[in-house]
Structure 1
């Protein structure tokens, strides 16, 4: 399989005795050597993306795995497997291993990002390629914001109800000291500050190479710097803007959320894909990660012995609102978006073997449709909101729908169910709006604690959590 990434010659792990991190020791001399050359920064940044693409994080549990179990996306033959209240009990025998691992690995990556950012300025003189300093630092700042925001969405309270709760710490310095938990609104301010700085750095420096070579010949004959290609698999300028839209909506600032969502749409860098053979809808990808040997992982986990499938047609039809919208929506169509078999119904979204080099091994983290949904939530009236929803629906082969203020959120929720299957975003939608129940939810009445991941035991014992 053709690899789009530069092979990471040295994935960086740095030392700390803090309980925030789980890293291997590396001497300051070795660090200085790594960052004494421009290629060292490229290797370090690539290593960060590789660590994000582990099965414990975005290659599985923060996409189609744990988060989509919580979103009630699957129904194995044993109905009790996921339709169980213990999945919404933190901690429990179902959830504790996930929440402990996610916390440790996310902060480990943040430590690597912080070290990279430290050396970006300390060793700025080693950057000899035009715009490399701005691009690498901009990507790193965007990634730091992205990782902290997902930590807040998982471990934080329902923000709208309790914006001053202290659930995570925003780490900006690589050191050995634990840091006191900060109020969620303070964390949001830090996220936005990093994204704004990243936006400045990437403006007029990001090459915005979102082209998708369709065959190996095209890829092999790319003449420009390959490090700057496939920007949809990096924290690019428009990924930063899209994330700002996501964060501002989370914080309740609809004016700025709409502003940034419009900037992404109006950039004309992305467009809806009508080609049903393009399972990833490639030109709609704003930000994604590359997962090595993803085809083997998918074959195992979505195959006959996997755990990520739907066993009854009714379960799937409810999820995609077939009673109202029918089956013309290609997001549910057999042989296009799902495989229907006697042993279960599985998504085709991740069957990417023999696809274009630019789309193999792809897990989408932000896609174009979300920007339309942001605008639908922020629109001044239901009629305008319906226009944004219908732009996506029509691109998916579904008839337009009308909205009233009473039905607006319900229709947006249905679109999240259809659009982000296997991508981990639905649970965050339910949490952000404080849903007390949702489709196939096994809990009689969801409350804040059913949405809020717990800290690892060691963090409560030794961290600054009081």
Structure 2
């Protein structure tokens, strides 16, 4: 994939901000940054970093639009057993949700391109920055650390879709790991090599972000944490360690986060989803969406038009204690004779679908640690404690469960499904645990109701455009089943 130009930070908000940038970066009429330009000081790199974050709002990543979108926000739930396509759907996702895709699928290519565009912008931010390390060491650490973490995180996201076997020592093919801007030809490394690169970037980012010139996010305030800091890196590491099967490391990283970030009270939980400032809302990383910047979840439910393209499956609704579980009223709403996903309605009292995307929350860390503990001999009681702690924070009058063995594993998996409902996890959770995907209420618009663990669809095909443009990736490097 050849990226000569990079879309530059539409989230650099306001005309005054753009005016301030004119001496730093020549903003073209199309708001495109020519990658051949070089920066002159750390403030230039700071502006480039802002542009890197902005691209997470693209419609193929966390954003949504009229066509296939939300690749890492809503799509993993659309493709799972959590949601059922309705008659109100515009059929934009039909190929993806029915696993009827090939290497020429435009939505898959769009996600691939959007991800590598973020990576390219991160690499622009990193290019030559070491020359300015002495200018302001704290600022250098802060900017470089965030750019490295973003690069690692996006490669990890790509690996989730395009990697087959995700275990840490897997010899199956991973995704090209791009460490330089405009690096056109790069072969697919193994999944093991992809993990090595991801964890190397995260380790360096963590070291850098431990010594910065100022706080990256408001200290102690877990309401709006729009940037990656040291805590966020720990959370990303915990997620990546779990996926790669490194369970002790996953538990340790999750503990580092849990020790610093509290679970919110039951009375304040609903405010998380309305982006209301309640002091501490257990959000570790939240990507802001404001008017004119798109929406993260309207392709599931479009509140302004009251159109529900995907509804929650009857099975998943039935898993909630509707009377006592605070998540039920926060996640669902009954409109007429239908139940819709309401956790992304809008900010405050608004119902426009414009709400910040919660990338990582501390509750996920409890679930990661609990699952990791079930894979570490002698830690079942610790796993049960984490499960009961999370449930008690969500369910009024909860009586701690006593579980062990497979029953405990299944309970943690179910709690993960409920807690992280439509937060971009379910398809990947079924994939990495090699379970069968079974849509119990398949509906009229789904033509595929089950997906076995050995189905080719768990690993997306490398886009044909990449194979054509990249001299080091050939048809023989395609994922199994797509040649």
Same fold judged by TM-score > 0.5? yes
Counterpart CA distance in 1 for 2:118 and 2:244 is 25
Q: Is the 8 A contact 1:373 1:412 kept in 2?
A: yes
Counterpart CA distance in 2 for 1:386 and 1:309 is 33
Name the residue aligned to 1:18.
Answer: none
TM-score (norm. length: structure 2): 0.78
Name the residue aligned to 2:328.
Answer: 332
What value does the CA root-mean-square deviation take over the aligned residues? 3.5
Distance change (3 Å), C-alpha of 1:372 and 1:113: same
- 1:319 and 2:316 aligned: yes
- 1:203 and 2:206 aligned: no
Name the residue aligned to 2:467.
Answer: 460
Name the residue aligned to 2:4.
Answer: none
Counterpart CA distance in 1 for 2:319 and 2:101 is 35
Counterpart CA distance in 2 for 1:376 and 1:57 is 29
- 1:254 and 2:247 aligned: yes
1:393 to 388, 391, 396: 391
Please give the secondary structure, in 1, of the residue aligned with 2:284: strand
TM-score (norm. length: structure 1): 0.80
Give the number of the structure whose residues are more often helix, by fraction. Answer: 1
- Alignment gaps of 5+ in structure 1: 15-22, 214-228
Please give the secondary structure, in 2, of the residue aligned with 1:261: helix
Counterpart CA distance in 1 for 2:96 and 2:184 is 34
Bigger shift: 155-164 or 407-416?
A: 155-164
Name the residue aligned to 1:273.
Answer: 265
Please give the secondary structure, in 2, of the residue aligned with 1:168: coil
1:131 to 133, 138, 141: 138
Q: Is the 8 A contact 2:11 2:51 kept in 1?
A: no
Q: Is the 8 A contact 2:144 2:205 kept in 1?
A: yes
Q: Is the 8 A contact 2:123 2:180 kept in 1?
A: yes
Q: Is the 8 A contact 1:110 1:147 kept in 2?
A: yes
Shift of the alpha carbon at 1:6?
Answer: 5.5
Name the residue aligned to 2:159.
Answer: 152
Distance change (3 Å), C-alpha of 1:165 and 1:36: same
Name the residue aligned to 1:223.
Answer: none
Shift of the alpha carbon at 1:85?
Answer: 8.3
Deviations 1:366-409 (A, max 9, x none): 11011111111122343321110111111111523332211122
1:165 to 162, 172, 177: 172
Name the residue aligned to 1:102.
Answer: 111
Please give the secondary structure, in 1, of the residue aligned with 2:287: strand
Q: Is the 8 A contact 1:309 1:344 kept in 2?
A: no
Q: Is the 8 A contact 1:64 1:423 kept in 2?
A: yes
1:342 to 333, 336, 339: 336
- Alignment gaps of 5+ in structure 2: 1-9, 65-69, 443-448, 478-483
Name the residue aligned to 2:129.
Answer: 120
Deviations 1:307-332 (A, max 9, x none): 44427xxx34x214447x45411111
